[in-house]
A and B are shown apart, each in its own frame.
Chain A
């Protein structure tokens, strides 16, 4: 609960968990991103909308360290960072959940949740690199309980899960990695693209619970109902420019569609 107080503190100080300023991105002559300003605070869900090719994925890749922007600055908790590789962003507390989930199918849920941060056994076995499976399962169960999702037995291989369950595991894996001593940033790329209605509801509830824990979430999606339901704020990109950045309660579905399609002029008139 002390983490929760920190969250309030940080947002009150007005320092966003992740802030991008004047991000430019050129591919040869193509200008994929044009002076994008973007920020997300702790405990906030920001939807990033836009048509195909509007630059959502490029912007997300800049945030996750997969692309280096041509210009602009990235700040994490107020500190300027330069990401040379995705591992740098991971180190700074930014986790990306990809559309293809990237789970190891043949391994069980607990192993998938713990890979890269294994608990070793104590004593000589630990020195030899023996993993404490029991402790790992227990930790993962605790983490999933905290998120309010218990999908299946922790020893169930991922390949035997349904699409929604896999999505939950992938989200939980990233969520558990950003909730360290300091709450991090979660980047979600189309988390409901392959899901049915009920599974989408489940993922939506999970996103809300992660926000309540103080995680900053950037949600890229084509699913407008999901975006309006779950996001605190919505940013819209159109042909590499940000054309809208507005609290969800101050806008409506029609306006968003207008910005996405370009039928509605940019909020930022001079841009």
Chain B
């Protein structure tokens, strides 16, 4: 509740702020007024503020059990699986396609890897590599089929069925247990921190750098925002769509493999639940379903918020279904906040843009 009041505080001087940058604007571009900057900060970083508030809230409410290093590690570990899937969903959505085949790809990759290790006795590294590459290949298929003009949602639903069937066929309908050799990326801890946390950190760093710093990543985001604009710039936008599907499915495969490592068995049943958890984290992070916008660090915090809520409520002995409800409320609340901020920003900018025109500056 402190968010709106904080923003209101910055809104008040907006009339000054709108006219203030106009006079010195002739040589240099007009700086954004303080209120606009505040609102943009709230939009871009609001989820970090929200997470901070939740941590403070639970630290007080669940004192002394919540605010401890061990509990932080627990939360990070709990968030890691959904974070990996959320990364896949987010990259897909940012490039303008919702990839629903993620649970199937995860199941197929883990079963193929499990089969290669347990039944064929192949080396672990080779099995993991094949699992990941298989995921990437399915993403490639999703991509080139969608480019034929078919709706990506239907295509990936079809692929969900195909991959989960293939997983069940390979595993013979049962789980493949006893995959203790994967402990090194499952329950094993390094310097006290579980392996999945490192994997998530590495994945998010690589993907964030890719999307914000590299040519291909920026073009991928641009294709999601306005494919026509990118096409008219002489870029083959189709390539970037396929690339997004490949990244998305590779993340799904990685998620499947880490899940397998944690539970030490490969499960051929694709659980659609993981895509909804991932979607919740992605939506909480303000990734627009229209594509073209979103940031992966925020997605990571989205996944952490989900884990934080369920962790805190569990400590207090609140039934877990309350956590689901609270998440839903937060999600809807974030939608309203974002709508309010966009409208406020455009109103402020409208006044400042007109002010600068009328004073003769550009």
Contact = CB atoms under 8 A, between A and B. Distances in A.
Interface in B211-228: 213-216, 218-219, 221-222, 225-226, 228
Contact of B214 (A86, A130, A202): A130
A229 interface: no
Nearest to B31: A153
B235 A199 contact: no
Interface stretch (A18-26, A31-39, A105-113, A237-245): A105-113
Contacts of A160: 345-346, 349
B229 A104 contact: yes
Interface stretch (A6-14, A53-61, A115-123): A115-123
Contact of A129 (B216, B288, B354): B216
Interface string A171-182: 000000000000
Given A111-B222, A115-B222, A102 B232 contact: yes
Given A151-B29, A153-B29, A164-B357, A104 B215 contact: no
Contacts of B274: none
Interface residues of B, number: 34
Interface in A139-167: 149-154, 156, 160-162, 164-165
A195 B223 CA distance: 27
Contacts of B293: 106
Given A103-B226, A107-B225, A162-B350, A154 B29 contact: yes
Contacts of A118: 215, 218
Interface in B332-362: 345-346, 349-350, 353-354, 357-358, 362
B245 to A, nearest CB: 19
Nearest to B214: A129
B292 interface: yes
B34 to A, nearest CB: 14
Contacts of A100: 228
Given A120-B215, A128-B214, A131-B215, A152 B29 contact: yes
Interface residues of A, number: 39
B350 A103 contact: no
Contacts of A129: 214-216
Kindly name the residue among B213, B232, B358 whose own CB sees the greatest number of chain A CB atoms within 10 A.
Answer: B232
Interface in A62-116: 86-87, 90-91, 96, 98, 100, 102-107, 111-112, 115-116
A198 interface: yes
Nearest to A141: B29
Contacts of B29: 150-154
B233 interface: yes
Contacts of B31: 153
A102 B225 CA distance: 10
- From DSSP, what is the main secondary structure of chain A's interface residues? loop
A90 B234 contact: yes
Nearest to A133: B213
B230 interface: yes
B332 to A, nearest CB: 23
A155 to B, nearest CB: 10
Contacts of A87: 234
B232 A131 contact: no
A104 B222 contact: yes
Contacts of A149: 362
A67 B31 CA distance: 43
A189 to B, nearest CB: 12
Contacts of A150: 28-29, 362
B234 A106 contact: no
A193 to B, nearest CB: 18
A129 B221 CA distance: 15
Contacts of B215: 118, 120, 129-131
A120 B353 CA distance: 33
B7 interface: no
A91 B233 CA distance: 11
B216 A106 contact: no
B12 to A, nearest CB: 21
A31 B362 CA distance: 45
Contacts of B225: 104-107
Kindly name the residue among A104, A128, A150 whose own CB sees the greatest number of chain B CB atoms within 10 A.
Answer: A104
Given A115-B235, A130-B214, A150-B362, A102 B30 contact: no
A162 B348 CA distance: 11
Kindly name the residue among B216, B219, B235, B358 whose own CB sees the greatest number of chain A CB atoms within 10 A.
Answer: B219
Contacts of B213: 130-131, 133
Given A105-B225, A150-B29, A199-B357, A115 B230 contact: yes
B183 interface: no
30 contacts: A91-B234, A100-B228, A102-B228, A102-B232, A104-B221, A104-B226, A106-B221, A106-B288, A107-B221, A107-B222, A116-B234, A118-B218, A129-B215, A130-B215, A131-B213, A131-B214, A131-B218, A149-B362, A150-B29, A151-B29, A153-B30, A154-B29, A160-B345, A160-B346, A162-B350, A162-B353, A164-B353, A164-B357, A198-B358, A202-B362
Return the 6 tightest CB-CB contacts between A and B, nearest first: A116-B233, A106-B293, A102-B229, A162-B353, A104-B225, A129-B214
Interface of B: 28-32, 213-216, 218-219, 221-222, 225-226, 228-230, 232-235, 288, 292-293, 345-346, 349-350, 353-354, 357-358, 362
Given A115-B229, A161-B349, 9 more contacts: A87-B234, A98-B232, A104-B221, A104-B230, A107-B221, A115-B218, A115-B222, A116-B234, A133-B213
